[in-house]
Structure 1
Amino acid sequence: MKARRDVALVTGAGAGICAEVARRLAARGVGVVLLDRDAEAVARVAGELGDRCLREPLVVDVTDTAAVEAAVTSLAPRHRPGILVNGVGGDTRARPVTELTEADLTSAVAHNLTSVFTMTRLCAPAMVAAGRGRIVNLASVAGRTYSLFSNAAYVAAKAGVIGFTKQCAYELAPHGITVNAVAHGVIGTERIRSAWADNPPEWTADRVGRIPAGRFGTVTEAAGMVCQLCGEDAGYTTGTVVDVNGGLHI
């Protein structure tokens, strides 16, 4: 079964960066398959996309491997993605390692790394058969260095995404498949703004003040680089980690 170069599967598509990625790819004429665990949120995005949304969204929790396997297997041949955007993840809990447990690490890895592994291994074979594919993984500035905003479990998981991206890029390049990561800094999504709203204004001012650009990134800016790596003209770019962080990590 061969992947379709004009079909994209976007995980975490119910909100934030990946909802915007889905909108932008659809605007370029790409048919989109949406995946998110929030049925109501992903249905709203599907409604926005109209007939560019190829089928009913896949309502799946990516930490449930059996459910993910069933969802991807259920895709009709015409819906097999030649573009995969792995966008599920995140952790806004700024906690020291001394307060973390193994359960925190297990959760961080399941959401941020295992989900990427599972989606990639399930979608890559059809891309290999087609001789072409684009895989973009959402990493984080946290996986490049340390985090001012999250915790060690999250940092470890996102560092794993970067390592996984590089190995897959090496293995899949002979088949015409690119695999890249985008390492976002602080992006002003609704989820991030909501999480930070409980902190004192001086706490937020201190964190934002450490970003050379002096502000949050926008969702549009965050999605733009992801979509660039999904395009036909990104065929010679693979194994890269693209930083979108306002200079937080240079």
Structure 2
Amino acid sequence: MSETSAAPRQHLGRIAWVTAAGSGICAETARRLAARGCRVVLIDRDEQAVRAVARELPDGLGVPVCADVTDTGAMVRLVAESAAELPDVLVNGVGGDTRSIPVAELTETDLWRSLSANLLGTFTLTRLCTPAMADRGHGRVVNLASIAGRTYTHFSNAAYVAAKAAVIGFTKQCAYELAPRGVVVNAVAHGPIATERVAAAWDGMEPARREAITGRTPAARLGTVAEAAAAVVHLCDEDAGYTTGAVLDVNGGLHI
């Protein structure tokens, strides 16, 4: 089989850390990385959920860790305790906010809450894990941004948009600094994906608002979790070494 027609290379022996791995896009990302041969450390503050996902993975490839990535001290300890097995692949997936709040009603507390939920853990784990990647001359970091950070949001608020835009800016600077050491850093900006959280918000919308959103989307539907995770896994692949600082839009054409 030629190089150009080969299937994506397997990640045999690689270690991946996936945050928010207890559900949704990141749980599916963990499943797909394990299927490619990664040993996956699944990090989530919901112990029951993350253990359930770990049980789905092939024997020995799922390691559940109950932790809150916004607790910087806990992340410092986790990295120190894992010094011999730091990740080759890091997927920063913690975030989200489905509170629809007009900008005039937002407070500084809302802003700090959104920055903590969407940026802090990504910042912390990236700065702690990428030095080992750089020493090895290989690394993949994928940050989950959002279409909100590219344009605006139907589902959330301006504080969330600001936080996701910050994730994109952080991704680009890290990509610039780390590329010479073999570490690539990219972001995926998902549009409306039918995760459990978004589906619940969707179900609570008036039919006219749902129709307005799908009417502006060329694909005329929400994306699936499988479609969302596939884009993340692509950027984790062995063959993604010349893609860095990119923002991969997965939104059915809602933002082009």
Answer whether contact 2:119 2:163 (CA < 8 A) is retained: yes
- Secondary structure (helix, strand or coil) at the match of 1:199 reads coil
- Secondary structure (helix, strand or coil) at the match of 1:81 reads coil
How many angstroms apart in 2 are the aligned matches of 1:108 and 1:128?
A: 30
Pairing 1:84–2:83 present: no
How many angstroms apart in 2 are the aligned matches of 1:72 and 1:23?
A: 22
How many angstroms apart in 1 are the aligned matches of 2:103 and 2:233?
A: 35
How many angstroms apart in 2 are the aligned matches of 1:165 and 1:82?
A: 17
How many angstroms apart in 2 are the aligned matches of 1:72 and 1:194?
A: 34
Paired position in structure 2 for 1:14: 22
Cα pair distance change 1:119/1:202, threshold 3 Å: same
How many angstroms apart in 1 are the aligned matches of 2:37 and 2:240?
A: 17
- Secondary structure (helix, strand or coil) at the match of 2:14 reads strand
Paired position in structure 2 for 1:110: 116
Paired position in structure 2 for 1:35: 43
Matches within 5 A, 1:22-101: 22-55=30-63, 57-75=64-82, 77=84, 79-101=85-107
Identity %: 63
Shift of 1:195: 2.2
Structure 1 length-normalised TM: 0.94
How many angstroms apart in 1 are the aligned matches of 2:118 and 2:58?
A: 29
Matches within 5 A, 1:74-223: 74-75=81-82, 77=84, 79-223=85-229
C-alpha deviations, 1:188-237, integer Å up to 9, x for none? 01111112222222222222222121000000110001101101110000
- Secondary structure (helix, strand or coil) at the match of 1:58 reads strand
The one-letter code of the counterpart of 1:15 is S
The one-letter code of the counterpart of 1:167 is Q
Paired position in structure 2 for 1:233: 239
| Range that drifts further, 164-173 or 198-207 | 198-207
How many angstroms apart in 2 are the aligned matches of 1:153 and 1:18?
A: 23
How many angstroms apart in 2 are the aligned matches of 1:151 and 1:120?
A: 26
How many angstroms apart in 2 are the aligned matches of 1:52 and 1:135?
A: 23
| Range that drifts further, 200-209 or 57-66 | 200-209
Structure 2 length-normalised TM: 0.92
Paired position in structure 1 for 2:6: none
| Range that drifts further, 166-175 or 62-71 | 62-71
Answer whether contact 2:114 2:159 (CA < 8 A) is retained: yes
Shift of 1:128: 1.1
Shift of 1:107: 0.6
**Which residues of structure 1 form unaligned runs of 5+?**
none
Cα RMSD (Å) of the superposition?
1.4
**Which residues of structure 2 form unaligned runs of 5+?**
1-11
The one-letter code of the counterpart of 1:64 is D
The one-letter code of the counterpart of 2:67 is V
How many angstroms apart in 2 are the aligned matches of 1:229 and 1:88?
A: 17
